Amino acid sequence: MDAIRLAGRKDLERCVEIVRTLPDYFTPDVPDKVRSDWTRCATWVGEREDRVLGMVMVERRSAKTAEILWAAVQAEHRGGGLGTALVNEVIGALGREGVELLEVKTLDESADYEPYVVTVAFWERRGFFKLDVINPLPGWHPGNPCAIYVQALHR
């Protein structure tokens, strides 16, 4: 990977495109949600040769808490460490800013949906712990149990 950096406005459409190309992971309404979340959230991107290949979008919830709203890596670059590098950068940056608790929501394993078996394992390997499952979570499609994962950040 050439660089992990905070995204700029010019990166928005590439991040939306990455999400759009992952229909097994994101519903058709997510590209518009990424667009609407963009201005109030911080987004980190991973790029190679000036091409964005992955992103993590974070919303601050309070001075000490934040949530990863969206995380995606282009399909052909998954499994190569980019997602890990992005999440590690986010964790480090938020920790330096005084964030003490980081949350991420994902489809719970009880949904028995194969693509998310890897996703749940990814978050758990990054040190996130399942806090709760809410079904239905307001704003989520019915029948999609939401697993809430958290990680305590060390400053």
Per-residue pLDDT of the chain (155 residues; tens, 9 = 90+): 579 999 999 999 999 999 999 999 999 999 999 999 999 999 999 998 889 999 999 999 999 999 999 999 999 999 999 999 999 999 999 999 999 999 999 999 999 999 999 999 999 999 999 999 999 899 888 889 999 999 999 75
pLDDT of res. 100: 97
Beta bridge partners of 55: 45, 72
Report the number of distinct structural domains present in the chain: 1
The predicted model scores a pTM of 0.94
CA distance 28 to 4: 27
Domain of residue 41 covers: 3-152
pLDDT of res. 2: 74
pLDDT of res. 50: 87
pLDDT of res. 155: 57
Question: CA–CA distance from 39 to each of 3, 43, 49 (Å)?
Answer: 22, 10, 25
CATH of the domain at 83: 3.40.630.30
